[in-house]
């Protein structure tokens, strides 16, 4: 089969949401409808037990949140679907932002009770910056929540995007009867069923079909007609072109925990969602149909299987065809490398594959040769762009509490910071190590994983830091004030770039004024390996 036909079969997307909106539950139910799993374990809302397929780390099950992106590949309706389930908690937003660089579209989950929340806005801002096609799923319709029209207004006002409902709920909470599918003129009866798929769909000619009155009652049918007439008047007609360019978001209603409204969402997704898209590189845009293979690493995860202490690089194929045991060019290292056991994923379950095509997300066993942002090609020397590294805002000094485990601590810190879970800054002399994170919950995850995966116990001592900024300069004289008077706040990152950790916003401003020839950067791309440009 040609590469073009394989590209047409691929859909790669991420599910994003504010915590507790039902993102991981929806992920599990998409797998249920695809046949990838037969029975779903109901996700508990009490934050103690959680058995969702995509949350495989023990700490995720304990806390009831996703703290790491999971990759799930499955087939549905003749398509190969690569789904990336992302963390919703704001403290792990950096992992989510990086993951969004590897997808072509997004499903945004919104809680009908709480509406648009803080993290929803931040995640949507990233999608708007990249003009990703977005489908919105309004979840938990089996609970008493905000009125549908109120939710739609909230979405448009707060998320800076026009919306168009493609399904419409009949009732809500205790009066919830089901969803009318505007897209296909059909009504799906609501039945509470958390573990298995039970559909009862009735199709109609149009909204004036008298069968609707018999199906849901005359009063409800009259109200439904009135509401859909309002929808057709107020909201633009849905066009695939507007969806694909990111200017219009189709909206679906349902209850993920009860498997309701999920099939309508999935059926429409495979019909309208984009195939693999072009990607920007240091040598211009690369089309998926380009004959030569290329792709990039967007995530690294150590100890995916704690029994084997493995380390996996998550790799997005962007062009050409990937083949097992074929040599590919590692651009940063300038080496030719082959991969005998490339894998695809169903959460922590892996299976070896022979080939992969644009849109696929595969796992490459990593012996320490990969960093986030690394590019593989068939000999070309370009790098993929747009994989962000953000400035941490919380800092702790790492203190080893067991001198006999120093090597384990060193290895654990290097691996976990390679994953992008945190950033490591080292100060010489003395090898003082400081970890910087975007959110404080990351410290708990790091400490837990250091102990449980590497056998290393340590203490974290908070230090006063406003944010980490990378310092770019041409000559040592450009940073004379920094090195003379602020050396206690100077560190190096893992790529030996100079990093300044000011105590306050005022300190940072003073440093900028005293070192006018230096640049102070809040973020950088992962493939920017060296910032120092000191003249020889």
Q: Give per-residue pLDDT as tens, 261-277.
A: 888 899 999 999 999 99
- Closest to 7 measured CA to CA, from 248, 237, 275: 275
| CATH number, position 493 | 3.30.70.3280
Do 369 and 444 have their domain in common?
Answer: no
Q: How many residues does the chain have?
A: 536
Judge contact between 511 and 500, C-beta under 8 A. Answer: yes
- Closest to 392 measured CA to CA, from 428, 362, 356, 436: 436
Do 11 and 147 have their domain in common?
Answer: yes
pLDDT > 90? residue 448: no
**Could you tell me the pLDDT band of residue 513, with boundaries at 50, 70 and 90?**
very high
pLDDT tens profile 177-228: 888 888 777 777 776 655 555 555 666 767 777 877 887 888 888 888 898 8
Q: Map residue 284 onto helix, strand or coil.
A: strand
Do 219 and 288 have their domain in common?
Answer: no
pLDDT score for 134: 96
Do the domain assignments include residue 536?
A: no
Do 366 and 415 have their domain in common?
Answer: no
**Could you tell me the pLDDT band of residue 278, with boundaries at 50, 70 and 90?**
very high
Do 521 and 406 have their domain in common?
Answer: yes
pLDDT score for 322: 96
Do the domain assignments include residue 141?
A: yes
Q: Given 272, 291, 306, which residue is the final one in a domain?
A: 272
Q: From residue 84, how far is each of 19, 104, 137, 144, 359 by CA, in Å?
A: 16, 11, 16, 30, 12
pLDDT tens profile 103-153: 999 999 999 999 988 878 878 887 887 889 999 999 999 899 999 999 999
pLDDT score for 196: 52
Cβ burial of 2 (10 Å; 0-12, 13-18, 19+) is: exposed
83 φ/ψ sector (left φ>0, alpha ψ -120 to 50, else beta): beta
Do 446 and 324 have their domain in common?
Answer: no
Q: How many CB atoms lie within 10 A of CB 424?
A: 18
Do the domain assignments include residue 531?
A: no
Do the domain assignments include residue 532?
A: no
Q: Given 351, 377, 403, which residue is the final one in a domain?
A: 377
* Average pLDDT of the residues in 289-311: 79
Do 80 and 223 have their domain in common?
Answer: yes
Do 12 and 131 have their domain in common?
Answer: yes
Do the domain assignments include residue 52?
A: yes
Q: How many CB atoms lie within 10 A of CB 3?
A: 17
- The residue segments making up the domain with residue 474 are 388-525
Token match 């979840």: residue? 139
What sign has the CA pseudo-torsion 109, 112, 115, 117? negative
pLDDT > 60? residue 430: no
470's CB contacts (< 8 A; 6+ apart) are: 493, 497, 498, 499, 500, 520, 521, 524, 531
Do the domain assignments include residue 119?
A: yes
- Closest to 469 measured CA to CA, from 417, 425, 416: 425
Task: Give the predicted TM-score (pTM) of the model.
Answer: 0.78
- Closest to 137 measured CA to CA, from 244, 304, 14, 53: 14
Do 464 and 437 have their domain in common?
Answer: yes
pLDDT score for 44: 36
pLDDT tens profile 381-395: 999 987 777 778 889
Do the domain assignments include residue 354?
A: yes
Do 313 and 397 have their domain in common?
Answer: no
DSSP letter, residue 121: H
**Could you tell me the pLDDT band of residue 524, with boundaries at 50, 70 and 90?**
low
- What is the Cα–Cα distance from 96 to 57, expressed in whole angstroms? 17
| CATH number, position 170 | 3.40.50.300
Q: Given 272, 291, 308, which residue is the final one in a domain?
A: 272
Paired with 313 in beta bridges are 300, 364
Domains held by the chain: number: 3
DSSP letter, residue 261: S
The secondary structure of the chain in percent helix, strand, coil, rounded to multiples of 5, reads 30, 30, 40
pLDDT score for 66: 40
Q: Which residue has the higher pLDDT, 68 or 266?
A: 266
Do 222 and 304 have their domain in common?
Answer: no
| pLDDT over 90, % of the chain | 39
Do the domain assignments include residue 226?
A: yes
């Amino acid at each position: 089969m040609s590469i073009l036909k394989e590209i047409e079969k691929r859909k790669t997307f991420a599910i994003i949401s504010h915590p507790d909106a039902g993102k991981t539950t929806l992920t599990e139910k998409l797998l249920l409808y695809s046949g990838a799993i037969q029975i779903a374990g109901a996700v508990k809302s009490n934050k103690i037990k959680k058995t969702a397929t995509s949350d495989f780390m023990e700490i995720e099950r304990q806390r009831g949140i996703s703290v790491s992106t999971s990759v799930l590949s499955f087939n549905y309706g003749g398509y190969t679907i690569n789904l990336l389930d992302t963390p919703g908690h704001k403290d792990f937003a950096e992992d989510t932002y990086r993951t969004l660089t590897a997808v072509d579209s997004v499903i945004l989950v919104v809680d009908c009770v709480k509406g648009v929340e803080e993290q929803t806005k931040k995640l949507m801002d990233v999608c708007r910056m990249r003009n990703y096609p977005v489908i919105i799923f309004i979840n938990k319709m089996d609970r008493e929540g905000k009125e549908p029209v109120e939710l739609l207004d909230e979405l448009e006002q707060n998320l800076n995007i026009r919306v168009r409902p493609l399904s419409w709920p009949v009732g809500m909470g205790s009066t919830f009867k089901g969803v009318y599918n505007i897209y296909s003129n059909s009504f799906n009866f609501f039945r509470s069923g958390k573990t298995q798929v039970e559909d009862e769909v009735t199709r109609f000619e149009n909204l004036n079909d008298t069968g609707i009155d018999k199906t849901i009652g005359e009063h409800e049918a009259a109200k439904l007609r009135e509401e859909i007439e309002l929808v057709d008047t107020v909201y633009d007609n849905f066009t695939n072109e507007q969806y694909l360019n990111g200017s219009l978001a189709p909206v679906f209603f349902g209850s993920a925990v009860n498997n309701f409204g999920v099939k309508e969402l999935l059926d429409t997704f495979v019909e309208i969602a984009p195939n693999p898209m072009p990607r920007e590189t240091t040598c211009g845009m690369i089309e998926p149909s380009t004959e030569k293979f290329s792709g990039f690493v967007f995530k690294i995860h150590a100890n995916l299987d704690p029994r084997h202490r493995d380390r996996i690089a998550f790799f997005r194929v962007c062009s050409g065809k990937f083949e097992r045991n074929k040599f590919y060019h590692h651009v940063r290292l300038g080496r030719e490398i082959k991969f005998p056991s490339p894998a695809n994923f169903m959460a922590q379950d892996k299976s070896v594959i022979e080939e992969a095509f644009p849109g696929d997300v595969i796992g490459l066993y990593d012996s320490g040769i990969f960093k986030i942002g690394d590019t593989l090609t068939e000999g070309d020397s370009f790098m993929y762009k747009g994989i962000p590294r953000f400035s941490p805002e919380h800092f702790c000094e790492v203190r080893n509490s067991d001198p006999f485990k120093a090597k384990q601590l060193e290895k654990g810190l290097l691996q976990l910071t390679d994953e992008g879970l945190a950033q490591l800054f080292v100060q010489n002399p003395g090898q003082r190590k400081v970890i910087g994170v975007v959110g404080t919950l990351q410290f708990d995850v790091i400490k837990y994983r250091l102990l449980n995966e590497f056998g290393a116990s340590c203490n974290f001592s908070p230090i006063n830091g406003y944010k980490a900024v990378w310092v770019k300069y041409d000559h040592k004289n450009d940073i004379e004030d920094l090195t003379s008077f602020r050396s206690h706040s100077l560190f190096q990152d893992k790529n030996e770039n100079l990093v300044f950790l000011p105590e306050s916003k005022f300190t940072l401003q003073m440093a900028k004024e005293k070192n006018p020839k230096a640049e102070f950067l809040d973020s950088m791309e992962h493939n920017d390996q060296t910032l120092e440009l000191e003249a020889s």
